[in-house]
Amino acid sequence: MDDNPSPAPVRGALIAGAVTAIVAALVSLPLHSPHDALLNSASVTWGVLLLALVSGLVYRRLDRSPNAVRRFAVVMAVGFLVWVAVAFAAGTMLTRMVSFSVPLAAIAFGGIAVLTPLLSRTPLVARWPVVVAALIVAAAVGIGFAGQGDQESGRLELPPRAGHDTYRIDT
């Protein structure tokens, strides 16, 4: 095994995670969150970025082995299945947990699984400033949309007008 593994798989995974986090954050907006304060676009973004970091470390470890991409795909598929099981278990305590998290997990695991091997081999990821810029954009999108989503508007509204069957008392 190489004593000094290349940082390219980690950088590639972080850029893949940034792209995937933006997509997942935008997809999360119309979904009904089980808890708007905890599960919003910001937490989705940070979760995807954490998954990207871990995935990059895994891919770096597998990078020089035979069938590295296939093994990485299997690891990501198993990770997705574990997440689905966790979502179903958490769904017993939080309503809409499965319908909220499973599509986002599919985007996160799928996007990172496909993009990490591709981006790890491109010259784009050779510079850390590119990676940092991608992470900043992803974090800004996630935080920027954190207050948006499926929650009630909070506007003060009048009730609908009364129908014809109401009585009017004139004074």
In angstroms, rounded to a whole number, what is the distance separating the alpha carbons of residues 45 and 27? 11
pLDDT at 165 over 60: no
For the entire predicted model, the pTM comes to: 0.79
Q: What is the pLDDT of residues 104-161, one digit of tens each?
A: 999 999 999 999 999 998 888 878 899 999 999 999 998 888 777 555 545 555 556 6
In angstroms, rounded to a whole number, what is the distance separating the alpha carbons of residues 18 and 169? 63
In angstroms, rounded to a whole number, what is the distance separating the alpha carbons of residues 135 and 72? 22
pLDDT at 73 over 80: yes
Q: Domains of the chain: which residue ranges?
A: 8-144
Task: Give the SS3 label for residue 7.
Answer: coil
